[in-house]
Every structure is written in structure tokens, then in C-alpha cells.
């Protein structure tokens, strides 16, 4: 349909695929949301491989979080949370990697610890993503009856 035609013109953009995935999630088209989120992750992984910039790593983490969220929405219909849990763990590990240390230092200097509804800039995106990922992973563990593990996340 027209939705797919519009995406085809920017098929090399992870941001476009992530936006499309978000739209498909909002329309409860979870299979399309998952497929689109996978495209965004694949594009971002290539960008990180070619240029290991913090912005590329942050984009990849955002898209992995979005994919995990889409998979969790889809899981209601299809099955196991193993893949979304692994994706959320990857996001946390990535954000705690040494490449983000300068950004963490900047955040500490500014004493920023909020969860932003609309992130502006790398620092607020980083904080929001890290906090949301920890909370989402903890909720998954709590839902499985693993309260001790949930508190550790």
C-alpha cells in the first residue's frame, strides 16, 4: 500500500524504518512493526561497523529497544520473551560500554538523571534510554516471578 511505497524511497535510513515501526505499533500491526524495527537495527549495525561514532551507537541502542518493545507486543500473540530480554540486555551493555564514558561524564557534570518524554540531544537520549531499558527489563523479570533479578536490573 501507500505506507510501504513511502518507506521504499528511504529504505537505507534506520530512522525512517524506526519511525515506520513506531507507526505500525500504534496501529497494532505488530508483525510489520517487528519487521521494520529489524530493518532499522540492521542498518544501524552497519553504520556502527563503518563508523563507530557515539551517535551511531546511540541510534543502534534506540532501535534495539524499539525492536524489543515490538517483539514484546507481538509476544502476546506468539511466544517467548527470550529475544526481547536479550535485546534489552544488549542495550544496557552497550550504553555502559567505554565508548559512552565521555557522555556519562557530561551527564554527571550536568547532574541529569531525568527520564525525558522527548529527548533532545545525546545526553538526554542516553539517560532516557538507559532508564527505560532498566525499567522494562525489570518488569519482564517481575512478570516471570524473578523479583530478586528484577531489583538488580
Query: Is the pLDDT reported for residue 73 higher than 60?
Result: yes
Give CA–CA dist 115/124, Å, rounded: 8
Query: Is the pLDDT reported for residue 71 higher than 80?
Result: yes
At 61 the pLDDT is: 94
Q: Which residue has the cell 530480554?
A: 85
At 146 the pLDDT is: 62
Q: pLDDT tens digit string along 107-122?
A: 887 765 555 555 567 8
Q: Which three cell numbers stand for residue 104?
A: 556519562
In this prediction, residues 48-61 reach a mean pLDDT of 89
At 145 the pLDDT is: 73
At 57 the pLDDT is: 92
Q: Compute the radius of gyration of the chain from its Cα atoms.
A: 16
Q: Which residue has the cell 542495550?
A: 91
In this prediction, residues 3-13 reach a mean pLDDT of 62
Query: Is the pLDDT reported for residue 1 higher than 70?
Result: no
pLDDT band at 65 (very low <50, low <70, confident <90, very high): very high
Distance, CA of 19 to chain centre = 12
Q: What is the mean pLDDT of the chain?
A: 81
Query: Is the pLDDT reported for residue 97 higher than 50?
Result: yes
Amino acid at each position: 500500500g501507500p505506507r510501504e511505497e513511502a518507506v521504499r524511497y528511504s529504505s537505507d535510513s534506520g530512522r525512517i524504518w524506526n519511525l515506520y515501526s513506531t507507526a505500525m505499533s500504534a496501529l497494532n500491526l505488530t508483525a510489520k512493526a517487528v519487521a521494520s524495527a529489524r530493518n532499522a537495527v540492521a542498518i544501524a549495525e552497519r553504520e556502527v561497523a563503518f563508523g563507530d561514532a557515539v551517535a551511531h551507537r546511540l541510534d543502534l541502542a534506540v532501535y534495539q529497544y524499539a525492536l524489543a518493545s515490538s517483539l514484546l507486543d507481538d509476544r502476546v500473540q506468539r511466544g517467548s520473551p527470550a529475544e526481547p530480554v536479550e535485546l534489552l540486555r544488549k542495550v544496557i551493555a552497550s550504553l555502559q560500554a567505554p565508548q559512552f564514558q565521555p557522555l556519562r561524564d557530561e551527564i554527571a557534570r550536568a547532574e541529569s538523571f531525568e527520564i525525558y518524554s522527548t529527548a533532545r540531544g545525546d545526553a538526554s537520549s542516553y539517560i532516557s534510554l538507559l532508564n527505560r531499558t532498566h525499567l522494562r527489563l525489570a518488569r519482564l523479570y517481575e512478570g516471570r516471578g524473578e523479583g530478586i533479578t528484577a531489583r538488580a536490573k
